[in-house]
Every structure is written in C-alpha cells, then in structure tokens.
Chain A
Amino acid sequence: MNQDLVYFFSDLVQYLINGLAQGSIYALIALGYTMVYGIIKLINFAHGEFYMIGAFVGYYCLMSGMPLLLAFPVAMIGAGLVAIVVEKIVYKPIRHAGRIPALITALGTSLFFQYLGQGLIGADPKAFPEAIKSVTYTFGEVMITSTQIIIMAMTFILMLLLYWLVNHTRTGKAMRATSFNKNAAELMGINTDKIISITFFIGSSLAGAAGVLVGMYYNTVEPMMGLIPGLKAFIAAVLGGIGIIPGAVIGGLVLGVAENLVVGFWVSTYRDAIAFGILILILLIKPAGILGKNRREKV
C-alpha cells in the first residue's frame, strides 16, 4: 500500500514534468498566435507553418555544420522573415476587408506551405541532428532529461524577454497602443504597419524557436508537423484568453499537463477528446478564457 503511494506520487511528478515540457512548446507557439490576434484580430492559421519553417531552417543549418547557438537564432530570424513576407504580400492587402476573408487567406497560406514543403522536401520525416547530447537525470523514481530542462528554460527566458519587450520598450508601447485602438494609435503618430510587421516577426520567430526545440526533443521534422501543434496552440491561446500574453503560456501549460495526465492515469485513446472536453468546460465557466475578462458588451 505504502509502496503504491510512492509509485503514485512519483508517477504524478513524472507526468507533470512531461506535461510541462510539452506544454512549454504549445505555449511558445500559442504566444505568436495570441500576439497576432491581439493586434489585428486575425486567427493566423498559418502560424503552425512558421513553426515548421523554423524547424526546417534549424535542420538545414545544423546539417551544414553550424553550431546550435548560431542555428537557433538563425531559425528564429528565418521563420520571422518568412512571416513578414507573408504579411506584406498576403495579409496586408486584405486587412481592410474584415476578419473572415483574412482568415481564409491565412488558411490558404497554411495549405500553400504544407504542400510546397511536401513537394520540395518530400513527405518523409527527417531525423533532426543531435545538437546536444541528451542526458537523463534520475531522482529516485523521477526522470528528467537535459532536453526537457532546456525546453522549459528557453520558454521561460523567451517569455520574460517578450514580457520585457511588450511592457518596457517603446516598440512594446506602440504594440499595445495599436492593439488597443489602431486608428487612435495611427493618429498619435505610430506607424501601425511597421508595428504589425514587427508583431508578426516576433510571434513567428517564437514559433521558429519552438520548431527547433521540438526538433531537438523528438528528433524529427516533416512538412506536415505544424498542423496538430498549430491546432493545439490555437486551443491553448483561446483557453488562456486570446490576445492576452500570459494567458497563452498558462493555456499551453494547462493543455500539456492535462494531456499527459490523461495518458498516464487513464487511456490515451481519449486523450484529445479529454483535452477538448476540458477546453469546452473552461470556456463554459469562463467564456473568455482563463485570464480573459468577462466584459459586458456595450452598444
């Protein structure tokens, strides 16, 4: 009986660790989702593809012998640059037309990158080079790998950076102003087009970072890899309250932990069903997400 209890708690801790590592990745992707949504109210369905592009940039950099410390920022910048190009060519002309057409162009962009990737690179999964030797640390019954620690640490660092950027810099101030009221921000002399591009860049480079981290964690990259994490991150962003930056992180972590607990203590068959069930339940209790404020709508 006592032994069972020890097992139970060590298992619980283990599932929490696994969940936090997985959730960190969801959170990183969700951050970009939520930032873009916050500023132009666009559900950027192509966001998962920026994550995929980041992963592939990282893959090719590492394959060419570039050290990880360099490949990591290069992948972030690469994903960000692609996002800026997409924003300029595709999203900007349609921005005035309202949210729904923008949503469809985002979908089109997502399909475009997925199928272009499959055509150019091939659909087979590529093994991601082992940039850092993964070491497993054991504490009694609980195990944690160095990659898990790196992922959680990187997420934390990037989140702090983002927090600082948004709250303590001029650009951040401009971003907040644009998100609050775009027209008013423009009248105050803010170049909102530039700010929107910067938001896209930052959001997508976070996704690119997640792509490289995932490559290191699971050792695989393929052109369709953005589809499911993109969807999960969207859920995480809504769960936390879309448009709210800390909300995305909380949403991602909650989702990751919930999934791993379901797999661990129950059957994995219904993992996704449970994840969605939790989401719906939270939304029914708090219709604007965990951190969202239930504002009464006024005319």
Chain B
Amino acid sequence: MNISRRSIKVISMMALPLLFSTACIKKEEVEVIKTAEVTATAPAKKALSQDEIVIGAVFPMTGAIATYGQESVNGIKMALEVINKSGDLAKKIRLIVEDNKGEPVDSSNAVRKLINIDNVHAIIGSVASSNTLAGAPIAQQNKVPMLTPASTNAKVTMTGDYISRTCFTDDFQGVVMAKFAHETLKKSKALIIVDNSSDYSKGLAKVFSTEFTKLGGTLLGTTDEFTYTQKDTDFRSLLRKVKRQNPDVIFLPGYYTEVGLMLKQAKQLGMSVPFLGGDGWDSPKLQELAGPEAIKGNYISSHFSPDDQDPTVKSFVDAYTESFKQKPGAMAALGYDGMLVLADALKRAGELNHRNIRDAIAKTAGFKGVTGSITIDAARNATKSAVVLETTPAGMAFKQKVAP
C-alpha cells in the first residue's frame, strides 16, 4: 500500500515535465519533417511580409555593457529616420529592438524570437563578439541574414554564409597601429596592456605584438603579463608595474569605459608615454572620463573622423549631435552605417526573401558610408580604410588615413 502511494507521488511530481516532453515530441517530429522538406525543395519557410520590412536588432540595452548597445541603437534609429524619410525604399522599415542584457543565453533567445515570432527580413546585431557568436548559429540555421555592425572578431563571419559584417576585423587594426607606432612615432620599446576578459582586446594585442616585432621593435613583457578585466576601476598598481618597465609607447586595446580611467590614473602617476588604442576608445565619453590633461597626445585607430568635412560625415555628425546632445562615437557611426548598408541591400534585393537579401548584402561594393567606403568581400567581411586619430581635449583629431 505504502509503496504504491509512494510511486504515485513520485509520478505525479513528474507529471509536469512529462507533459511537456510528450507535447514537444510531436512538435519535434513536425520540425524534423519541416527541415527535411527545406533541404529537399528550396525554401518552404513562412513567407515574408511584402507590405513592410521588418528588421530585428539585438543589442545589450541593459546590463553590464549596455552603454555600447544603447549607443549603437541610437545610430541605427537615426539611419532609419533618414531611410524612411528619403523614400528610397518603397516600403517602410519597422525596427524591433530586442535586449540581450549582454548575456549569451539572452542573445540566442532574442534571435530566435525575432526569427520565429516576428518573422524578420534581416537581423542587425550585436556589439560584443560573444553575443553575436551566440546568436549567429541560429540565424545561420534558419537562413536569415544577420549583419553585425561592430563585432570585429574573425570567428563571427565564419559561422556561415548568412552572417556578414560592416566593420573591419581585429587583424587590420592591430597592423595599422603597430606600423604607426614604429614608423610614424619612431618608437621601439612597446608594452601591451590587455583587457583579459575581452576577446577583442586579446586579438588586437596578439596582432600588434607580432607585427611590431616583425618591424624590428622590441616588446617588453608578454601579452599576458599586464592585464585587467572589464569593470575594473583601479589601475594604479598595474600602472606602477608598467612604469617600472620603462616603455616608450604603450598599446592599450580596450574600451573607453576603462581606458578613460586608466589614462587619468597614468597621468597622476606622472607617466608621459603615449598610449595607443583601437576603435574601442572612440567615444566622446573618453574625453570626459580621462579629463583634458590625460587625454593629450595619444593615438587610436578608428573608423571615421568626426571632423571630416565630407558632406556624408558632416551631416551625420550634425544630426547626431542635435538629437543626442553629444558627438557620435564609433559605435553610433557603425550602427548607422550598418543600417544604411542593410537598407541599400534591401533596395537591390528585388523580391524580398532571405536569400535575395543575403545575396544583395554580399554584393555591397563601394557603399559610401560615414565610416568610409564599404565593400563586402568573399568572406563576408568589410574591407575599408581605417583612420588614425589623435586624442585631444576637444575631440579626436584626424592624423592619417590607412587604406586596407
């Protein structure tokens, strides 16, 4: 008697999950059949809406790295305004922004939601490579084009032929800055400080170190010796250690949130060595965080120069400054360009289905954006020029342009 009751209790406890599983086995069978069909007879997906264009954006709008996501979305929304106002596209674009909190799990959920529920034409996102990598396999499996405006990690576009990007990769920036340090600044003893929790930073550091030694410079220490992690605020002890090594140039590929603090603390410690960085520095916030003294005399590679008198850049910078009461940073510019490239592809796609949109994105060539002339290559990466900027209290000053 007791035993039977016990087993009933256990079974009743399992009722819930079992119910789920039986309900879902059926679903799964259906899906297996569906995918089988897809592979057999071309696309059998839900037809895309032809009355309006739905674009999904996946960005960290909350959470630890929300500042990059919010800035990117600002740029995207501005681009959208321009597109919808100009009437170049016969149909209106509707943007659905999904938050991923900067978490891989949420990224993959958000991408699934956009594809399955909203039936989007294409996805734009995300900023951190780890979030893009979490969402990319899903977009690839569902054959929905995904365009990332700012994920520079080489792996991102290797996920599959539906994933492309409108920014350059880490490799290019590292080479540019190594050449700049050695040839333009004539420095020979470099030291690298790495953000150990960021793949972007590690990637740039690696490329810089090989390129710099190849050019004949010496590297003090290794790339794992001077590290910090995102959200750190106190770099005084690290900088003390760096100072002991006596470098004549420091490469610091990181994001402006930490770099700003580090520059300020370095100045307080009496360091006057130039710091070099990548596009992660490029934000008007950097000037605020570092302060007018510490910001002087450092150089970064980035995508565009806000002082550029080119009408495309000028109108973007003016419009952005008016809307958001601050100058645009790299994230905003990249988001803006990403959206424009996507709109341009939609214009050329003809009948709107995922395959056509993807093909149109891949055929982008010489698109004139804020961040330069964008051409998507065979590996679905953008080839475009980089600029070297000097950080000054007033903003980023143009130094030189480097062609790919």
Contact = CB atoms under 8 A, between A and B. Distances in A.
Contacts of B64: 224, 227
A214 B261 CA distance: 12
A125 B285 contact: yes
Contact of A267 (B70, B224, B231): B224
B237 A143 contact: no
Contacts of B62: 115, 118-119, 123
Interface in A209-246: 214, 218-220, 222, 224, 227-228
Nearest to A218: B233
A263 B260 CA distance: 19
Interface in A121-142: 122-127, 130, 134, 136, 138
B237 A218 contact: no
B270 A220 contact: no
Nearest to B65: A123
A14 B269 CA distance: 11
B308 interface: no
A218 B71 contact: no
A114 B233 CA distance: 18
Contacts of A214: 233
A55 to B, nearest CB: 12
Contact of B241 (A124, A264, A272): A264
B37 interface: no
Interface string A140-165: 00010100000000000000000000
Nearest to A260: B237
Interface residues on A, range: 35 or more
For the residues of B in contact with A, the DSSP-based class is helix
B307 interface: no
A7 B241 CA distance: 11
Interface residues on B, range: 35 or more
A218 B346 CA distance: 46
B297 to A, nearest CB: 19
B285 A122 contact: no
B240 A11 contact: yes
A134 B70 contact: no
Interface of A: 7, 11, 14-15, 18-19, 22, 115, 118-119, 122-127, 130, 134, 136, 138, 143, 145, 214, 218-220, 222, 224, 227-228, 260, 263-264, 267-269, 271-272
Interface of B: 61-64, 66-67, 69-71, 196, 224-229, 231, 233-234, 236-238, 240-241, 244, 257, 260-261, 264, 268-270, 285, 288-289, 291
18 contacts: A11-B241, A22-B234, A115-B62, A118-B62, A122-B70, A123-B61, A123-B62, A124-B285, A125-B289, A127-B288, A143-B268, A218-B234, A227-B231, A228-B231, A260-B236, A263-B237, A268-B196, A269-B196
Given A11-B244, A136-B268, A263-B238, 13 more contacts: A18-B236, A18-B237, A123-B70, A124-B67, A125-B67, A127-B288, A130-B291, A136-B270, A219-B261, A219-B264, A219-B289, A219-B291, A264-B237
